[in-house]
Structure 1
C-alpha cells in the first residue's frame, strides 16, 4: 500500500490534555478513508493534524516523506485541501467569492486569475449544486446551503488529497447522500485521495474503501469495512449491542442496533420488583 500522507507516533494535545496517543496511520493513496469513533475519541483532532491545523505534541505527520510542519504553507495548500468542522466565512462575502478563495494556492504575482481558475470554480459550484446561489451572501444561507458552499471551496482547490471533517453536518438525508456520492465520484473518476470523519457508521461502511475505528485517542481497528465492522467492534468502540447484516443495496456491513426501549419492558421489570421475595 502506497501512502503520501502518514502519521508516525503522533501525539496530540490541547494544553495539558492529551487527546491522541502515539498514533501510527497511513492514508492509502487513491482511496476513500473514513475515520469513525465515539465523541471525543480524537478523530477530528487527528484530521486537523493531518491538515497541519494542529501542531503535534510528539511524533510527526509526513507528506511525501517530509515532515508537514517544515513544509511551506503554499506547497501544502496545493497538495492538501481541508474542510474543518466549523469554518467561518468573512462577513458579507458572496458564495462565488468564497468558492473562488479555493484557488488562492494556485495564484502568484506572475499568474493571476485564469480560465483554469474559472473552470475549477464553476465546476465545483455545479457539482455541489450551489451555482444558483453565486451572488447570494453566505450569511443569508441555511446551514445546509453553507455547508455545500464550503465543500465547493474545498473542491475548487483541486488538490490530490482532500480532508473533510463531518461534511454531512447540517445536511438533510438527500444532500448527505449527494455529498458522499460526490466524494465517491471524485475518488473513482479523478483519483482523489479522500479522508473523511463521519459520525454515521453505516454511511462510513457504505462509502469507505478503508475504515479507521478510533477509541480514546488510539486506532482500534482499520481495514476494508467488510473485514472490520463486526458486532464485537461496534460493542467495543461504541458500547452498543447490535446485529451486523449485509446492506441490501451495496452489500457493505449494515449495523442494526439492538432492541429499542419498550414501555411494556419497563412495566414487566417494575412488576417483578414489586413481587415479594419468597424465602
Structure 2
C-alpha cells in the first residue's frame, strides 16, 4: 500500500492534471479501515466522452467512482477537478460541477417523483430564490428524457425498481452538471430500458448545436458488451488496479477477458455497431453417466 503523498507529490499531481481532462486521479489509494481496495491508481477522464469502468466484483470500480465524486476520502494520492484537489473545493462548487448517482440511493419516505427530481436543482438555488423558471425547465427536461413525466405525482415508494432507477437518473440529469458519475445505472432495468438509458448517456455527450461540448460521463457497468458498445474510453480494473484502458476496439481482446474476468471467450464484431462483442467459450457440461 502506498503512503500518503507529500506536498511535493501533490503539486506534481496538480501540474499533470492541468495538462489533461477536468477530472483526474493521481496515485489514488482507497481503503476501508485496514483493507486497501484501490492502490496507487492514475486515471484521466476524457472531457465530453463516455468513460465506462468494468471489472469483476470487488475490484474497486464503485469505490473509485465514489472517490471521483468526493464521497470517499483517499487514503493516499488525490482526485483533482480542474487541477485542484476535491478536498480543497467548496461543496457547493463540486455539486454544481459533478453529479453522482450511487448504486443504491435511498429516497426520503413518501416523497413524490417530482419532489425527488427537483432536489437535483438544490446546488443551483439561493436563499433569496428557491425556485426559478430555469429550475422548472431543467426538471421537466430531465423527467421527459427518462420517461417519468407521467409519474410526477406518485410516491417513489410505490414504484417498481426500474421506475425508481429512472427517477434517480432524472434527478441526476436535473442537476445539469458538466460531469456525471453513474454507478451501475442499468440496475433493475429490463433490457429495453437498459438500452434507453445507455442511449441517453451517449446523447448527453453529444456537442450542442452551438458547438458547445457535451457532458462528460463516467459510469460503472457489469455488462462488458454494453460497455464496449457505449464507451468512448473503457477502463478495465482488477484487484484495485487498472489492467487496460483505451478505446474498446483497441483493448477488448480474448486475452484481456481471460486476465480480468477469468473467462475464455471469442471476440467478434457486434453485427449492429461493429464494436467488440464478447462471446463466452464453451459452457460447462455434465459428464454423461456411464
TM-score by length of 2: 0.91
> Does 2:35 match 1:12?
no
| Residue of structure 2 equivalent to 1:152 | 170
| Residue of structure 2 equivalent to 1:192 | 215
| Residue of structure 1 equivalent to 2:153 | 135
Aligned residues: 267
Work out which of the residue numbers 184, 187, 191 in structure 2 matches 1:166: 184
Measured against aligned partners, the alpha-carbon deviations of 1:38-81 in whole angstroms (never above 9, x if no partner) come to: 00000000000000000000000000000001111100000000
> Does 2:256 match 1:233?
yes
> Does 2:273 match 1:250?
yes
> Does 2:68 match 1:50?
yes
Aligned positions of 1:57-68 closer than 5 A: 57-68=75-86
Q: SS at the partner of 2:42?
A: strand
> Does 2:39 match 1:21?
yes
> Does 2:236 match 1:213?
yes
> Does 2:112 match 1:113?
no
Work out which of the residue numbers 47, 54, 57 in structure 2 matches 1:39: 57
Q: SS at the partner of 1:233?
A: helix
Distance 1:67 1:108 in 2: 25
Distance 1:46 1:54 in 2: 9
Distance 1:185 1:192 in 2: 9
Q: Which runs of 4+ in 1 moved over 3 A?
A: none
Distance 1:2 1:117 in 2: 32
Cα deviation, residue 109, structure 1: 1.7
Cα deviation, residue 189, structure 1: 4.1
Indicate the RMSD between aligned Cα atoms, in angstroms: 1.0
Q: SS at the partner of 1:35?
A: strand
Work out which of the residue numbers 77, 87, 95 in structure 1 matches 2:105: 87
Distance 2:263 2:180 in 1: 31
Q: SS at the partner of 2:193?
A: helix
- When Rg is computed on C-alpha atoms for both structures, the one with the higher figure is 1
Distance 1:236 1:126 in 2: 41
Of 18-27 and 108-117, deviating more is 108-117
| Residue of structure 1 equivalent to 2:246 | 223
Distance 2:239 2:284 in 1: 28
| Residue of structure 1 equivalent to 2:227 | 204
Distance 1:59 1:115 in 2: 41
Distance 2:20 2:139 in 1: 30
Distance 1:259 1:75 in 2: 51
Distance 2:129 2:64 in 1: 34
Distance 1:262 1:61 in 2: 47
Distance 2:20 2:242 in 1: 19
Distance 2:128 2:23 in 1: 30
| Residue of structure 1 equivalent to 2:7 | none
Distance 2:189 2:205 in 1: 21
